[in-house]
Amino acid sequence: MSNFQKSFFGNRKQIVLLSTGFVENCPRFSYNKTPAFAEEAKGRLNFPKSFFWGSSTSSHQVEGGTHNDWTEWERVTAKLKVENAKLRGWPDYILHKYPNPLQEENYISGKACGHYHRFREDFDIARSLGHNAHRFSIEWSRIEPEEGKFDEKEIEHYRQVIRALRERGIEPFITLWHWTHPVWFAKRGGWLAKDAQIYFSRFCKRMGEEFKDEVQYWIILNEPMLWATDAYRLGKKPPMAQSVFKFLKAYVQLVRAHRNAAAALKDINKDFHIGIAESMNDMLFPALLKPFVHYFRNLLFISLVKNRLDFIGVNYYRPFRFRFQKPLHISDMGWEIYPEGMCHLLKDLKKYCKPIFIMENGIADARDAKRADFIKSHIAMMQRAMNEGVDVRGYFYWSLFDNFEWDSGFWPRFGLVEIDYQTLKRRIRPSAYEYKKIIEESKS
Ligand code: BGC
């Protein structure tokens, strides 16, 4: 490692991989057989005409050709990740794909899905699948590659992206921070620097001014709690510094960043819809512990910024269990499938009296064996919460296509559309058509 790399990431020898174990031949997950939501699933879907149906992506995970703190980190950690991956068993259906977890290329985002150049083709696919909304992030490191120097060409690029969506009747939802930072920002200390949020607000303000006539929905931060935990507690994301003090500092800075950026955006247009996408897990904990962990993990950040939120975005994938019990249904990443959790969380969020969007919900499923049922059952649970008075306005599947799953790399396959990473060919998976049917049914 160079001195810069050492000061940037520390000199750690070990990287903790996010990826977990597998259960081969686990029972096929079927929502129809699960009594808890069979009722909703059988009945007709009942969604308002204005409901947003779509999918989410983030710049670093799909665009390709980015240069930010993550790309630096990927280069210096790829070898170690391969070594770590060798310590565990992998099923053939993962090892047969390119790239697989035992290859260094798996951990380098590189050209990713090539979405930067193929966005029109990709939005044609989204439209053909019935989507009327799409969430994506603007890559700060492209817009402001050097401190204070805004790149007009890149601003124009995102203008074209937004227009391409609008031309296809797809509402753009823009995320302004999805975990990546310009290298200059990271070198200044990232979120630990005193003035970090001033730089971030300046970027957000510029984006608000540029796209004020084209964009209504803004998600300032994606999963601040999870990111701060992974970056400063678990050491799973750059800058990989494990310290409670740094974690708290970054967390407080992100709260400030949201507040300032929200104020800056509202100054541009008071009718902008400002939100957040927060990662939430249903906490299957004993009654005494549950309220505490639920509040700290799922609600604290939202409570701290609620006065500057027009809507709440929920990213729901799985529950957390107090004790390890082997779940019956899991994804390729070993994440438990538990649709009821979405309903529990939505019902609890009702107390904030804000519109809610499911901003991410998805499954890593390379064989596409469980995805259709996963989507149906979670939508059924969302419907149940809506029937009980929760104001949900949209559902975004994660993700439109397979993409670069951060420290796990390319092997987890979340996409409605499969990517062949050698040719960048897109292939629509059968589950994407099942999702399309739901969308169509909800409108009929
Ligand atoms: C993140 C995405 C990620 C997804 C699946 C969310 O926590 O916002 O970037 O790919 O989960 O792990």
The mean pLDDT of 3-20, rounded to a whole number, is: 39
Q: Atom 10 of ligand 1 has which residue's CA nearest to it?
A: 405
More confident of the two residues 9 and 180:
180
Q: What is the predicted pLDDT for the residue at 153?
A: 98
- What mean pLDDT is predicted for residues 187-204? 97
- Mean pLDDT across the stretch 13-34? 38
Instruction: Give per-residue pLDDT as tens, 302-319.
Output: 999 999 999 999 999 999
Q: Give residue 401 CA to ligand 1 midpoint distance, Å.
A: 13
Mutate to test the pocket of ligand 1, among 17, 229, 365, 405 (most ligand atoms within 8 A of CB): 405
What digits encode the pLDDT tens for the residues 363-378? Answer: 999 999 999 999 999 9
In sequence order, the β-bridge partners of residue 218 are: 174, 274
The predicted pLDDT at position 326 comes to: 75
Mean pLDDT of 97-120: 98
Rounded average pLDDT over 329-351 = 97
CB 121 within 8 A of CB 44: no
pLDDT of residue 107: 98
Of 360, 371, 396, 400, the one to substitute when testing ligand 1's pocket (max ligand atoms within 8 A of C-beta) is 360
123 CA distance to ligand 1 centroid (A)?
Answer: 20
Residue in 198, 252, 261, 245 with CA at minimum distance from that of residue 225: 252
Mean pLDDT across 285-312: 97
Structure confidence by residue, pLDDT tens digits, 341-360: 999 999 999 999 999 999 99
Distance 391 CA to ligand 1 centre (A): 24
Mean local confidence (pLDDT), 23-36: 42
Listed range (232-241, 244-253, 417-426) with the worst mean pLDDT: 232-241
Distance separating alpha carbons of residues 82 and 95, to the nearest angstrom: 13
Amino acid at 265: L
Q: How far apart are CA 301 and CA 272, in angstroms?
A: 21
User: What's residue 327's pLDDT?
Assistant: 80
- In this structure, the residue with its CA closest to atom 7 of ligand 1 is 279
Looking at the CA of residue 333, tell me the nearest atom of ligand 1: 12
Report the chain's terminal Cα–Cα distance, integer Å: 59
Q: Could you tell me the two tokens for 69?
A: 């703190």
Residues 198, 309: Cα–Cα separation, whole Å: 19
Q: What is the pLDDT of residue 44?
A: 66
Q: For the chain, what is the mean pLDDT?
A: 92
Q: Which domain holds residue 42?
A: 3-443
**pLDDT score for 261:** 98
Q: pLDDT-derived band of residue 16, with 50, 70 and 90 as boundaries?
A: very low
**Res 188 pLDDT > 90:** yes
Instruction: List the residue whose alpha carbon is closest to atom 5 of ligand 1.
Output: 405
Total count of domains within the chain: 1
* Average pLDDT estimate for 188-203: 97
Pocket residues for ligand 1 (CB within 6 Å)? 58, 61, 222-223, 226, 279, 315, 360, 398, 405
Q: Residue 189 belongs to a domain with what CATH number?
A: 3.20.20.80
Q: What is the mean pLDDT of residues 252-256?
A: 98
Minimal-distance CA residue to ligand 1 atom 12: 405
Using the atom order of ligand 1, give the atom closest to the CA of residue 279.
7
**Given pLDDT bands bounded at 50, 70 and 90, which one contains residue 10?**
very low
Average pLDDT over residues 328-348: 95
Cα of 178 vs centre of ligand 1, distance in Å, is 9
Distance CA 341, CA 378 (A): 9
Looking at residue 39, what is its pLDDT?
56
Q: Which atom of ligand 1 is nearest to the CA of 18?
A: 12
Which of 139, 220, 234, 406 has most ligand 1 atoms within 8 Å of its beta carbon, as the pocket-test mutant?
406
Q: What is the dihedral of CA 170, 175, 176, 182, to 10 degrees?
A: -100
Q: According to DSSP H, which parts of 91-194 are helical?
A: 92-95, 115-128, 140-143, 152-167, 183-187
**What are the residues whose beta carbons fall under 8 Å from the beta carbon of 134, sequence distance 6 or more?**
54, 55, 56, 57, 123, 126, 165, 170, 171, 172, 173, 396, 400
